[in-house]
Structure 1
Amino acid sequence: MASEKILKAKQEQVEALSAKLNKAVAGVVVDYRGITVADDTKLRKELREAGVEYAVIKNNILRRAAEAAGLSDLTASMTGTTAFAMSESDPIAAAKILHKYAEASKGKYAIKAGFMEGKVLDVAGVESLAKLPGKQELLTMLCMALNGNIRGLAVALNAVAEKKGEEQPA
């Protein structure tokens, strides 16, 4: 039987992880078996730059934290080697990055499940989330659409001004 000190440390770890899960807008559970150290280092760097927290967590601790956070449907995916990524700000960053690595690894690195805004997603749900455009891409699309409308308005106003200029006698 584990000592009281170890149990207390594990309970604190579960509570801290549960609090993070409650704050997170999205997260992804992955099977990291087969990833090389170099690939893992690149992956962690890319996730960190995107504001995503990534860690290898024991299944039992992650399972208890998910249950405490109201994500008990997520516990079915917690078998084997498990790593977990979550974001407090960008709901699709973790899914995008991890999906890209899963495709590049050809089956060695696999997505197990995920969640977004309190709802558990299966592998297909995480993959569809990963295919959505990111915040920067959406802002770019919006700016292009607005710029096109403004440009059209400027051309129309210019045409009206030229037409009125022709009508006035010199």
Structure 2
Amino acid sequence: MLSNNRKLKEAKVQEIREKLEKSEAVVLANYQGLNVEEDTKLRKDLREAGVEYKVYKNTLVTLAAKELGMEGILEYLKGPVSMAISYEDVTAPARILNDFAKEHKNLELKAGVVQGEVYDEAKIKELASIPSKEILIAKLLGSLKAPMSNLVYLLNAIKEKNESAESAE
């Protein structure tokens, strides 16, 4: 019985290690005090953004983090801790959790790991202020489009001026 329990724990540690290893960003938060409705909404928001939301035993996360050399997050693994894990968008977990925490004071950001670097709460909140990749791309395309549009208007104005000069002759 004891060895079976140990095997289950080892499998969980392996699962956590793989998630941490594959992730682009992991944000740790204290979720204590959220009711079922709030927790369900948070999970839905995260899921829609492609972010995985898990709660593991701190001891198991500690073992996985040590295996990966992520000792920097160990100090934040105290009390009830949830993990928002993103495999693509670095800002999504921080942004969604931070926005949710503004409306629900029971959720507190603790720290995170972004592309292997440990971020404290202040850095996570700073990361949360960065717009999503889609918004940044739209802004970039908009800024690229503006000069081209101005050039088209200028060329069109020159063409119309030349045509009106030719018809006046």
TM-score tier, shorter chain, comes to over 0.9
Identity within the alignment, %: 36
Counterpart CA distance in 2 for 1:67 and 1:156 is: 62
Deviations 1:47-72 (A, max 9, x none): 11111010111000111111222211
Cα displacement (A) at 1:44: 0.4
CA contact (8 A) 1:33 1:109 kept: yes
Q: Which residue of 1 aligns with 2:20?
A: 21
Counterpart CA distance in 1 for 2:128 and 2:67 is: 26
Residue number among 104, 129, 132 corresponding to 2:130 in the alignment: 132
- The answer to whether residue 146 in structure 2 is matched with residue 154 in structure 1 is no
Cα displacement (A) at 1:26: 0.3
Question: TM (normalized to structure 2)?
Answer: 0.94
Instruction: Calculate the aligned-residue CA RMSD, in Å.
Output: 1.3
CA contact (8 A) 1:25 1:87 kept: yes
Cα displacement (A) at 1:167: 3.8
Aligned length: 168
Summarize the alignment of residues 37-116 of structure 1 with structure 2, pairs less than 5 Å apart.
37-106=36-105, 108-116=106-114
CA contact (8 A) 1:70 1:118 kept: no
Q: Which residue of 1 aligns with 2:10?
A: 11
Counterpart CA distance in 2 for 1:30 and 1:74 is: 12
Cα displacement (A) at 1:137: 1.1
Q: Which ranges of structure 2 fall in alignment gaps of 5 or more residues?
A: none
- The answer to whether residue 143 in structure 2 is matched with residue 145 in structure 1 is yes
Counterpart CA distance in 2 for 1:153 and 1:110 is: 49
Deviations 1:54-108 (A, max 9, x none): 01110001111112222110111000011111110111111011111212122x2
Question: TM (normalized to structure 1)?
Answer: 0.94
Cα displacement (A) at 1:131: 0.5
